[in-house]
Amino acid sequence: MKFKQAWALIRKIPKGKVTTYKEIASVLGTKAYRFIGNACNKNPYKNVPCHRVIKSNGQIGGFVRGKREKIKLLKREGVEIVKEKVDLKKYLYKFDGKN
């Protein structure tokens, strides 16, 4: 498994939606959720919106430029955040097209 595979999936997440580390790992056929987080952390591309990847419980999680910046970027895209959590029923992007 390579970072490029994760980045290709992350590129598909539309503005105003989020997905989870677990969802991306599942699409890639692995349970290596931390690998996905590491891929986000090492992302060199501006067109790979890693700020749209969050924890499977809806919590924001880490971000290379800080959690505050991640929250700011998500809010700017219309994602509502309450107590550092996102309502996954409303904002989750699933790669199977069932959004």
* Residue 25 belongs to a domain: yes
The 10s digit of each residue's pLDDT in 35-52 is: 999 999 999 999 999 999
State the total domains in the chain: 1
The 10s digit of each residue's pLDDT in 51-95 is: 999 999 999 988 989 999 999 999 999 999 999 999 999 999 999
How far, in Å, CA of 98 to CA of 43, rounded?
A: 27
The CATH number that applies at residue 47 is 1.10.10.10
pLDDT at residue 99 greater than cutoff 90: no
At residue 53, φ and ψ (nearest 5 deg) are -105, 125
* Residue 97 belongs to a domain: no
pLDDT reported for residue 47: 95
User: DSSP character for 94?
Assistant: -
* Residue 86 belongs to a domain: yes
- Full-model pTM: 0.94
List, in sequence order, every beta strand (DSSP E) within 1-99: 19-20, 53-54, 81-82, 85-86
* Residue 35 belongs to a domain: yes
Q: Tell me whether residue 50 is one of the annotated catalytic residues.
A: yes
* Residue 98 belongs to a domain: no
| Catalytic member of 6, 48, 50, 54 | 50
Assign 1 a pLDDT band (cuts: 50, 70, 90).
confident
58: domain range?
3-91
